Each structure stands twice: as structure tokens, then as C-alpha cells.
């Protein structure tokens, strides 16, 4: 990790501290200085600095700390600047328009229609809805052009840099337990959030980055064993401390299915045909609730509100009522966030619900309707049909789609999770495309 910090010192020790000071005292100047820094990185032929800066700002933007508030606007600034650089690369012939983005256009058009046809928006909400629609498209545009080209250019070395970045984020969070516990524990509770906005955010970060760790280290079997144990140790400790049930089950699902699919055909048949059904039967037959309580894990897993999914199931019922108001095209981006923040029934709060709908698919249905969700599904089907490594794709999809069932990260763009999911997708589909990702 020391080599990582040396490699990216221009960002971490020069630019980021300046962005921090300007962002907290003269924030408007960052709208000029940050694009200048990004253009400078590009000019000195260090696009890897741009990518690491973008990923870092996305992670910091998830925090609710007041002194990191500046990073939220910088996410947009960097995204727009990268888009301009993508156009420059396209004009120079560095790469061509990626065909996969064409599959994304129908969803984008549906999202635009949803925003434009919604007649209950206030002017401010309409502007935010349009902004989020455009930012969602720009993220995918950059993922399949600027980010894809340079991630593939740097190959496995850059993927290791991503692992270093996540390790540093997790390590700082764990160190702050000793230095400032009130900062890393959520609202005075025992649930750990690290540098993320809440414990579920920490769980989501572990969930979406674990496949990157597993993919890289499984391809680099001769990599330093101590650092591998250290890296997975940081993930596991952070996961256990945040006590996110969704993340815990998603990680277990990924780990178990990944290991089961790595063996021979006979081993896979044995696992899925005998062991898995037997485990399911035992879980069904045994008094799991009583066992968990007897083991003293009832409070850790928050079993008192498991029946309502921490209020999620009630929120989903209300979400279905909202969807029914405009089922085809939805209400436009941002509407789900707006309506849950400003018009959520008091009964949901009483039942323990906090935040939005906590379901990526319902969030997409609220915002873009059945048409939008269908276009999104077709887009991903087109991508996943290109993946040749089924033994990795199956656990990857099972884990991430499960996670998205209880969190809305997949329906948003400028968060710290969607980007890492999409990078892993790029790597998985690369063997079917002209330009391939190489670990070596």
C-alpha cells in the first residue's frame, strides 16, 4: 500500500488536500480547480490518477461527515470532466463508440420520458430528476469508454490499485475506532460504518468489492499470501462490525457458491444436488430463531425487527401503491428519494423504517416504470450473455442481485457501489470483446 500512495501522491498529497480546503471554505472555486487538476492528470498522461481520484471521491461522497460534504458536488464535476475527455479520446480515435452503450440508450430515453411527463414535480424536484437522469447516463457512458479503455490499458496492476484503495479506506475506518469511535459508529450505536455514511453502506462496499478481490487473487495465485490474508481480513472484520444482515448473507452466498463451482462436475453435482438441499431442509426443520438467540446473536442480527426487514417490507407495500399510479413510465428519477423523504407515512417510521425503498428494482419501477426496468434488464442480459466464465458469473450475480433486493444502490449512479459492480462486469465480458482485460 505504501507503493500505492507513492504512485498516486499527486492526488492524495497535493490535489486532495487542496480540494478539501477549498471545498470547506471557498467551495465555488473547486468548480474550476478540480477540472483543471483532472485535465492536468490527462495532459501528463496519468489517466490512472483520474480514475483513482473519481473512485476516492465517490467513496468520500457516501460519508455524512460535514467536512466531507464538498466531495458530493465533486462527483459530478469529475464525471462531467471525464465525459469531455472521452469525447476528446473518441475524436482522436483512441477508441470507438462501444456497442454496449447503444443497448443502454432505450433505458435512458424511457428515463427522460418519465421525468418529462410527470406533472406533479415542483421546479426544483424536476431539475434534480433531470440531473440524476443525465448523471446516470454519463456514468454508464464513461464506464464503457473512458474507464473501460484505461482500466484495460493498465490491466491487473490497476485492479490491484483498486484493492489497495479499498484496503486503505477500510484500514482508516478501523483505526478510527481507537481514535474517534463516535465518528465510525452509527448514531451512537454499536453498528460500525467506518468512512461510509451508515452501516449498510459499509456492508454494500464489502459486498461489491469482494468479487474484485477474489477475481484478482484467484488469477494471481503466486501473489504474496500475507497481503491476501490481510486484505480479506479487512473485508471480514469490517463486514462483521457493521452487522449488515443483507451484506452478511450476500457475502456468504458469494463465497459458498464460488467455492462450490470451482471443483469438478461431480463436486458441483454433489453440492447442488445433495448438500444444498440438505442444508435447506435443516434450516426449514430446525428452530433457527431459537438457536440464534441461544448463541447470543439475537441482538447482533437484530432479530427483533427481522419479520419486517427493518421496515422494508412495509416500505415495499407502499412502493407498490406508488408504482400503481404510473406503472408504465414511472415518475422520473429522484421521485423515489423525494417521496420517501418528504411524504413517507408516519406508520412506516413507527414500524422501524428509515431512508428510501431499500430495493433497487422497486426504485427503478417507481422512477422509470415497467418500461424502464424492462430496458435495464435487457441491457444487462446483453452483457451477461457475453460472459464466458460462468463459474464466476453465477456467484457474482447471485450475491449482487440479492444485495440489490434489500438496497437501492443499483438504481443510482453517483454512489460508491455501482462503479465497482460495473468494473467487474467489464472485466467479465472482456474475453468476448476485441479489447480484453489482462491480469498480467
Q: What is the pLDDT of residues 282-298, one digit of tens each?
A: 554 545 444 544 445 55
Residue 110 DSSP SS3? helix
Decide: 439 and 390 in contact? Cβ < 8 Å: no
Query: What mean pLDDT do residues 404-413 have?
Result: 89
Predicted confidence at residue 431, as pLDDT, reads: 81
Helix pair 245-260, 390-406: axis angle to 10 deg? 170
Predicted confidence at residue 295, as pLDDT, reads: 45
pLDDT at 301 over 60: no
Query: What mean pLDDT do residues 135-150 have?
Result: 95
Per-chain mean pLDDT for the chain: 86
More confident residue, 304 or 357: 357
Rounded distance, CA 327 to CA 333, Å?
A: 14
pLDDT at 371 over 90: yes
**Which of 49-58, 142-151, 259-268, 339-348 has the lowest average pLDDT?**
339-348
The pLDDT tens digits of the residues spanning 54-74 come to 999 999 999 988 899 999 999
pLDDT at 197 over 60: yes
pLDDT at 273 over 80: no
**Which of 75-84, 173-182, 284-293 has the lowest average pLDDT?**
284-293
The pLDDT tens digits of the residues spanning 92-137 come to 999 999 999 999 999 999 999 998 887 666 777 788 889 999 999 9
Rounded distance, CA 176 to CA 185, Å?
A: 10
CA 167 vs CA 53, 81, 179, 228, 345: distances in Å: 15, 27, 18, 11, 40
Rounded distance, CA 259 to CA 64, Å?
A: 36
More confident residue, 334 or 347: 334
Backbone region of residue 296 per phi and psi (left: phi > 0; alpha: psi in -120 to 50; beta: other values): left
Decide: 165 and 57 in contact? Cβ < 8 Å: no
pLDDT at 364 over 80: yes
CA 368 vs CA 98, 341, 389: distances in Å: 24, 18, 31
Query: What mean pLDDT do residues 391-409 have?
Result: 91
Query: What mean pLDDT do residues 355-381 have?
Result: 91
pLDDT at 10 over 80: yes
Residue 440 DSSP SS3? coil
Predicted confidence at residue 346, as pLDDT, reads: 60
Predicted confidence at residue 345, as pLDDT, reads: 61
The secondary structure of residue 297, as a DSSP letter, is -
pLDDT at 210 over 60: yes
- How crowded is the C-beta side of 414, counted as CA atoms within 13 Å? 22
Give bridge partners of residue 192 from the DSSP assignment.
185
Rounded distance, CA 254 to CA 232, Å?
A: 14
Q: Minimal CA–CA distance to 81: which of 129, 46, 33, 133?
A: 33
Phi, psi of 61 (to 5 degrees): -65, -15
Predicted confidence at residue 285, as pLDDT, reads: 56
Phi, psi of 192 (to 5 degrees): -90, 135
**Is the torsion defined by CA of 214, 216, 219, 225 positive or negative?**
negative
Share of residues in the chain with pLDDT > 70 (%): 85
Predicted confidence at residue 65, as pLDDT, reads: 87
Give domain limits for the chain.
1-94, 95-432
Predicted confidence at residue 344, as pLDDT, reads: 67
Long-range residue pairs from 431-436, CB within 8 A, at least 24 positions apart, any chain: 431/388, 431/389, 432/386, 432/387, 432/388, 433/386, 435/95, 435/148, 435/149, 435/152, 436/152
The pLDDT tens digits of the residues spanning 304-322 come to 555 444 567 778 888 898 8
Amino acid at each position: 500500500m505504501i507503493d500505492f500512495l507513492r504512485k498516486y501522491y499527486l492526488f492524495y498529497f497535493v490535489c486532495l488536500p487542496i480540494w478539501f480546503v477549498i471545498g470547506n471554505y471557498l467551495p465555488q472555486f473547486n468548480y474550476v480547480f478540480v477540472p483543471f487538476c483532472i485535465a492536468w492528470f490527462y495532459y501528463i498522461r496519468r489517466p490512472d490518477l483520474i480514475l483513482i481520484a473519481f473512485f476516492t471521491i465517490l467513496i468520500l461522497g457516501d460519508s455524512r461527515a460535514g467536512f466531507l460534504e464538498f466531495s458530493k458536488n465533486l462527483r459530478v464535476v469529475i464525471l462531467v470532466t471525464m465525459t469531455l475527455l472521452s469525447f476528446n479520446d473518441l475524436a482522436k480515435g483512441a477508441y470507438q463508440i462501444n456497442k454496449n452503450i447503444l443497448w443502454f440508450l432505450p433505458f435512458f430515453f424511457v428515463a427522460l420520458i418519465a421525468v418529462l411527463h410527470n406533472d406533479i414535480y415542483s421546479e426544483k424536484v424536476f431539475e434534480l430528476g433531470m440531473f440524476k437522469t443525465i448523471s446516470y447516463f454519463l456514468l454508464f457512458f464513461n464506464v464503457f469508454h473512458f474507464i473501460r479503455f484505461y482500466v484495460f490499458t493498465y490491466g491487473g496492476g490497476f485492479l490491484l490499485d483498486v484493492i489497495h484503495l479499498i484496503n486503505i479506506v477500510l484500514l482508516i475506518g478501523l483505526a478510527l475506532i481507537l481514535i474517534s469511535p463516535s465518528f465510525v459508529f452509527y448514531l451512537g450505536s454499536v453498528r460500525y460504518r467506518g468512512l461510509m455514511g451508515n452501516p449498510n453502506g459499509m456492508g454494500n462496499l464489502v459486498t461489491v468489492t469482494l468479487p474484485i478481490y477474489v477475481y484478482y487473487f484467484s488469477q494471481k495465485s503466486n501473489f504474496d499470501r500475507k497481503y491476501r490474508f490481510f486484505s480479506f481480513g479487512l473485508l471480514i472484520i469490517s463486514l462483521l462490525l457493521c452487522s449488515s444482515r443483507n451484506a452478511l448473507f450476500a457475502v456468504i452466498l458469494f463465497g459458498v457458491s464460488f467455492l462450490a463451482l470451482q471443483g469438478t462436475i461431480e463436486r458441483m453435482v454433489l453440492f447442488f444436488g445433495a448438500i444444498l438441499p440438505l442444508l435447506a431442509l435443516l434450516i426449514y426443520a430446525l428452530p433457527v430463531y431459537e438457536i440464534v438467540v441461544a448463541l447470543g446473536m439475537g441482538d447482533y442480527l437484530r432479530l427483533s425487527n427481522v419479520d419486517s426487514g427493518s421496515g422494508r417490507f412495509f416500505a415495499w407495500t407502499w412502493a407498490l401503491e406508488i408504482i400503481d399510479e404510473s406503472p408504465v413510465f414511472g415518475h422520473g428519477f429522484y421521485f423515489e428519494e423525494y417521496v420517501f423523504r418528504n411524504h413517507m407515512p408516519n406508520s412506516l417510521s413507527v414500524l422501524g423504517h428509515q431512508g428510501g425503498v431499500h430495493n433497487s428494482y422497486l426504485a427503478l419501477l417507481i422512477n422509470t416504470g415497467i418500461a424502464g426496468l424492462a430496458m435495464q434488464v435487457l441491457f444487462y442480459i446483453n452483457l451477461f450473455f457475453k460472459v464466458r466464465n460462468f463459474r464466476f458469473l453465477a456467484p457474482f450475480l447471485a450475491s449482487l442481485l440479492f444485495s440489490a433486493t434489500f438496497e437501492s444502490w443499483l438504481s443510482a449512479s453517483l454512489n460508491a457501489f455501482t462503479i465497482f459492480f460495473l468494473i467487474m462486469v467489464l472485466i467479465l465480458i472482456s474475453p468476448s470483446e476485441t479489447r480484453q482485460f489482462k491480469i498480467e
